[in-house]
Each structure stands twice: as structure tokens, then as C-alpha cells.
Amino acid sequence: MVDVHDTVPDTGPGAAFQEGGALHPLGSLATAVAELGDRARLCDLYDFSGAPIYDDCYGVDAEEVAVLRDVLRRVPGPVLELAAGNGRLTLPLLQMGREVTALDLSAGMLAQLEGRVSVLRERIRSRLHIQQGDMTVIDLPDSVPQEYGLVVLLLASISILDRDGRVAVLRRARERLSPGGAVLFSIVVTRSEDTDVADHVHETTGRSGRSYRIHEVRQQDTEIRQVGIYPVTDDPTVAVPVGIGVHRVLDLDGVLAEVAEAGLTLRSQHVVDSPLQGLAEVFLEAFDAAVAPPSDGSELDPRG
């Protein structure tokens, strides 16, 4: 494992979307922040202040694990998990018996991961290598595996990047594949232009039992969707951390072109409707275009 406090500065992957270097809430989130007034403490959702909010709100997703398990049946070997974050997929991967290299840029998120795996038995923890770094580069030390049966990037985390960044990630992921290996990633797409809600507010209960309000705001005339999360409290005297992150709602055909540009060939896709009206998450599995396609003939369920 690595001491995440002594390596890359904790800039957080949302930093590229901060206007003038300052967090800039939009739509209903801006209204909520104004109502909180001096109590609001804006932070990147992925830094040391925002990571505990993310960790409480986002746990294991059964649909993601089912897709992941299906792909793992076909690809042996270690797994490289990009944007590993708080370990929401790292733990299931370890429980499936795989050796895992968990890479993330945010020291705050990796601190959450360190906390989660600290309770595991040593024989399980010994299969985990935590690395802080940029997933568009994937610079790994010699002490960890250099090739992987699967490179995985879920929760639409690739969409925090612009087009050049997404192609760079996919190209670097392809270079890390062992023969017959696969890249599995997901994106969020618009299911229907007529039903896409530009500003959606809902509440959720974290793993701790605490209530949170979530704002998802589509920036007008762009692919940018801002997410703001903060705890709900009736105490007017306490400070309220507001974690803000940003991702893109992408065009599937455009992403498939990026897959090809990165030297990958699509093997299968799996569509899951999002709880947010008008959106869907699409899981894409691809392999190195320079090698022969898998011969077992199996594919992910294309429902949706």
C-alpha cells in the first residue's frame, strides 16, 4: 500500500470544471447554497472534505458487480481499477479472489479506500496495491503487475475527462492489457431528449443513516452535468459541507469512435436505465484491436 498523503497533491478530478479555480454551483444547487449562506462549505466531491460525503452516499452497486462478474468469468489475471475512489468496486474484486491495483488521483478518496480495506484479513489485503496517480498516464511502479486481464473504469468516471483525456485513458488501458484481456468502462448517455431533466433534486440515505440532498444540474447547451451533495440538517448553527463534482453526458456514437481511435474494438455493451429520467448508463467492453477477438462467443446481456 502507499501513503496517499505524501505523493500527488490532492487536486481532485473535478478541478478542471471549477470556474477561475473556485467551485461554482449551478441551477438549484446555487439556490440551495445561497439559502445555506455562511453555513455552506463548498468542496470538491473528491478531495479530503468531500470524499467522506461520497463514501457515505455511494456504496456497492449490484448491477455494476453483476456486469463485472460476468466479464471476469472470461478474463483471468490481475485487475487494474482506474478511478478506484473509495473502494466501492475494489472490495468486490478482492472478494472475487483477484489481485487488484487500485489507481486514483485523489488522496482524499484513497484515504477512504485505505479505511475500508484496513478491516480485511491480511491474506486479502496482500492482493491489493493502492497507487495514487493520473489515469490518463497510468504510470505504475515495478512493484505491481504491469499487465492485466481486465482494466476497469465504472460509475461513468471516464466522463469527468474531455475527449482527448478519454482517448488517452483508453489507449493507456489497452497498453496495459495482457493477451486476451479486456477494458470495461461505463458512460452516461441521454436516453431521450424529450425526457432528459435538466435540474433534478432528490434525497438519499447514506450508509451511516444520515440524510443527504443531491442536486444534478445539466449546464445549458453543454454536455456538462454538475452533481452537488450535502447533508440535510435542521440545526441552523452547524456548517454544511457541499461536495461538488462534474461529469459529462456523452454521445454513444462519439464514444465508440474514441474506442476505435484508442486502438480498441468493442465486444459488447449493456444498457441500464438511470434513476434519473431520460438517462441511461452504458457498460462497454472492448479488447485490443491488434489481437484476435475472444473465441468463446459469449456477450453481455444487451437488454435495455
User: What's the whole-model pTM score?
Assistant: 0.86
CB atoms within 10 A of CB 190: 17
Q: What are phi and psi of 36, to 5 degrees?
A: -70, -25
Helices (H), 6-139: 27-36, 51-57, 62-72, 90-95, 107-117, 122-125
> How much is the pLDDT for 212?
97
4 close to 130: Cβ distance less than 8 angstroms: yes
Helix (H, G, I), strand (E, B) or coil at 131: strand
CA distance 163 to 158: 10
> How much is the pLDDT for 91?
93
> How much is the pLDDT for 222?
81
Cα atoms in the Cβ-side hemisphere of radius 13 Å centred on 268: 17
- Angle between helices 163-175 and 252-261 in degrees, nearest 10: 50
pLDDT tens digits in sequence order for the chain, 304 residues long: 433 333 333 344 444 344 434 578 989 999 999 999 999 999 999 888 998 999 899 877 888 899 999 999 999 999 999 999 889 899 999 999 999 999 999 999 999 999 989 999 999 999 999 999 999 999 999 999 999 999 999 989 999 999 999 999 999 999 999 999 999 999 999 876 555 568 889 999 999 999 999 999 987 778 888 999 999 998 999 999 999 998 899 999 999 999 999 999 999 999 988 766 578 899 999 999 998 665 554 444 433 4
Residue 225's nearest CA partner among 207, 198, 205 is 198
297 close to 274: Cβ distance less than 8 angstroms: no
> How much is the pLDDT for 66?
92
Residue 103, judged by CB atoms within 10 A of its CB (0-12, 13-18, 19+), counts as: buried
What Å distances lie between residue 1 and 73, 97, 120, 151, 288, CA to CA? 27, 18, 13, 19, 30
